[in-house]
Structure formats: C-alpha cells, structure tokens
Amino acid sequence: DVKVTQSSRYLVKRTGEKVFLECVQDMDHENMFWYRQDPGLGLRLIYFSYDVKMKEKGDIPEGYSVSREKKERFSLILESASTNQTSMYLCASSLWARENQPQHFGDGTRLSIL
C-alpha cells in the first residue's frame, strides 16, 4: 500500500513566520502535489512536481513555494505566513503513466496562523 506521510497533523504558527510542511511518500512515485482544502471550495492545487527539482505552479501558488530535492520528499513553504493561509493542507503522490494514475493522499495538516 502507498503511504504518504505528512509531518504534522496540527500546526499553529504566527503571522510572518516561515512555515515548512513536509511530505514523504514511500512508493517511488514521480508526481507529488500540494493542495489546500477550504469549506465550500474543495481542494485547490498549490504546486506540483513531476520529478526531482522540477515544479509547476498550480491554481493558487501566491504566498507559497516548494522544494523537491529528493524523489520521496516534497516540502511546502509559506515564506511569510498570513492569517488567510489558515487551512487544511493535503499532500498527494502518484505514479506517472500515460493512463493517469490515481493520486494517493496523506492525512492532511491543519494549519492555523494566528
């Protein structure tokens, strides 16, 4: 079974702090994704990566950056946290193939910015 592990379930930070959210997958997947989930808005893609050191912006990249130095690890960085970044953050991974493969999700990190 694919395991996607997010470093924290709950996190509380202060406005202006630099925040790191870590995600690790154990199935050698090429693709990794970061989403945020807000009530009434579903999941929105922040960034994704299809290879080490490669990244692409999703639908809402402003205020975020990412890092993928190793295939199994994909980090989301809030450069200067703001209260409107309080949300549930979900990491996912998938195998790359012509037939789009399902994404496998972590348990999520509920981030509160005070």
Partner 1 sequence: AQKVTQAQTEISVVEKEDVTLDCVYETRDTTYYLFWYKQPPSGELVFLIRRNSFDEQNEISGRYSWNFQKSTSSFNFTITASQVVDSAVYFCALSEARETSGSRLTFGEGTQLTVNP
Shortest approach of partner 1 to residue 64 CB, angstroms?
15
Q: CB nearer to partner 1: give 57 or 82.
A: 57
Residues 6+ apart with CB under 8 A from 84: none
Q: Go through 31-61 and write b for each residue having 16 or more CB atoms within 10 A of its CB, e for each that does not.
A: bbbbbbeeeeeeeebbbbbeeeeebeebeee
Residues in contact with partner 1 by the rule CB under 8 A? 30-31, 33, 35, 40-45, 48-51, 54, 56, 58, 88, 90, 92, 94, 96, 98-108
Q: CB nearer to partner 1: give 11 or 88.
A: 88
